[in-house]
């Protein structure tokens, strides 16, 4: 009998706690819609299409040799978080065979295409400008030149945010 009362108490408390409003917009606990951050993915290849983020590639860029940052009005550098994501399979017919540099933080800070971000790969510095709309990176400029999408014919917000840098 004691166990049943404990289980009922836990269920009651859980039920009450999920009715708590978490934000002024009226979202409810676990029932709130999922929101996605704007993620920029960047595949980095050499001129022959070899993946330069893959540790098995000669001359690859280790994460410790990569910097992603912005500068404020006083030229103070603010480091941006990024990760190296492994190749993945999205559907049975769609596989991304390259490692990607991904950053959630850059998408949140890109207010206009005029905002400059900087990507340092080893000794080489690249200027990045992003045009974002809702949850998508519509355009990426690398050193003021349009960067191609890694998967240009895909109809997915997530995959359409992955671009290519050839060096």
Q: Which of 14-23, 110-119, 148-157 has the lowest mean pLDDT?
A: 14-23
155 plus 126 within the same structural domain: yes
Least confident of 45-54, 60-69, 134-143: 134-143
Same domain, yes or no: 94 and 131 = yes
At residue 25, does pLDDT exceed 70? Answer: no
**Statement to judge: residues 158 and 140 lie in one domain:** yes
pLDDT of residue 18: 56
With CA atoms as reference, report the closest residue to 141 among 48, 42, 50, 70.
42
**Higher pLDDT, residue 128 or 111:** 128
**55 shares its domain with 95:** yes
Same domain, 51 and 25: no
Higher pLDDT, 159 or 125: 125
Torsion sign across C-alpha atoms 92, 93, 99, 105: negative
Tally of domains in the chain = 2
The reply to whether 91 and 160 lie within a common domain is yes
pLDDT tens digits, one per residue of 76-107: 999 999 999 999 887 777 888 999 999 999 98
Question: Same structural domain for residues 69 and 95?
Answer: yes
Q: Which residue range is the domain that position 92 belongs to?
A: 40-166
Q: Report the pLDDT value the prediction gives residue 152, as an integer from 0 to 100.
A: 81
Contacts of residue 49, Cβ cutoff 8 Å, sequence gap at least 6: none
Specify whether 70 is located in the same domain as 141.
yes
For the entire predicted model, the pTM comes to 0.74
| 83 shares its domain with 60 | yes
- Reported as a pLDDT band with limits 50, 70 and 90, residue 3 is confident
**In this structure, are 61 and 93 located in the same domain?**
yes
Give Cα separations from 23 to 14, 17, 26, 63, 84 (angstroms).
Answer: 19, 14, 6, 36, 32
Mean model confidence pLDDT for the chain = 84
């Amino acid at each position: 009998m004691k166990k049943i009362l404990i289980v009922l108490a836990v269920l009651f408390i859980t039920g009450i706690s999920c009715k708590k409003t978490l934000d002024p917009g009226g979202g409810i606990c676990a029932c709130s819609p999922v929101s996605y951050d704007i993620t920029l993915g960047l595949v980095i290849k050499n001129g022959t299409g070899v993946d330069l983020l893959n540790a098995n590639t000669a001359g690859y860029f280790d994460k410790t040799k990569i910097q992603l940052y912005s500068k404020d009005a006083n030229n103070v550098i603010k480091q941006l978080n990024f990760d190296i994501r492994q190749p993945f399979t999205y559907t049975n017919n769609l596989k991304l065979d390259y490692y990607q540099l991904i950053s959630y933080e850059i998408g949140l800070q890109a207010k206009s295409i005029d905002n400059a971000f900087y990507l340092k790969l080893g000794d080489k510095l690249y200027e990045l400008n992003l045009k974002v709309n809702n949850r998508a990176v519509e355009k990426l400029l690398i050193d003021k030149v349009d960067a191609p999408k890694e998967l240009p014919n895909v109809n997915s917000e997530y995959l359409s945010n992955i671009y290519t840098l050839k060096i």
